[in-house]
Amino acid sequence: MKTLSLILIAFFIAIFSGCQENQINQPEISQINKDSLPVKNTIKICCEVRDPNYGICNLNGYVNYTHEVINRTMNPIGLWEISLKFHMSSKLCDKLGMVHLEWRIENRSEEIVYVSEEGILLLEKMYSITNRSDVVLLVRYLVTTNGVGLANVNLVRLERYFT
């Protein structure tokens, strides 16, 4: 009886250990789950910005963006490759009521960035303003593996960046 119970125990141990999945051949689950479809979203812009020449101005519009995490085996460990597409469409209005041509910000761009899984990347983009040659719109985006947000928006003089 003792021999029979030892054989049964050995048999069950052999079955359970033989039926377990081989961890070496299994793909890493975190990489599979991060490979995603493109996410399209809109960030509405409605804020005041300080214009160095015209005082406080209103900035109204939106940024449409597409955010896609790209899973490639050649990416460095711990970094995710993210494809970003931006479409900025905004209007700048001064509060002084001055008569001038319309100030618009229209731009499309594509970026590839690398972000750690728990990290945040600060991405700066400059946009030219129609009928303005003295300032540009500087937008700071917060990029994560989950999406994009706005950190801040400023008008900056051109000579600050090109002198």
Distance CA(71)–CA(9), nearest Å, equals: 44
Mean pLDDT of 11-31: 51
Identify whether 16 is part of a domain: no
Within a domain: residue 8? no
The range of the structural domain enclosing residue 126 comes to 27-162
Weakest-pLDDT range from 30-44, 52-66, 92-106, 132-146: 30-44
HEC secondary structure over 94-148: ECCCCCCCCEEEEEEEEEEEEEECCCCEEEEEEEECCCCCCEEEEEEEEECCCCE
Residue with tokens 């728990």: 118
Domain assignment present for residue 13? The answer is no
Q: Using one digit for the tens of pLDDT, what is the confidence trace for 114-132?
A: 998 788 999 999 999 999 9
Q: In angstroms, rounded to a whole number, what is the distance separating the alpha carbons of residues 100 and 78? A: 50
Specify if 86 maps to a domain. Answer: yes
Backbone angles phi, psi at 160, to 5 degrees: -65, -30
Number of domains in the chain: 1
For 94-112, write each residue's pLDDT tens digit.
887 777 899 999 999 999 9
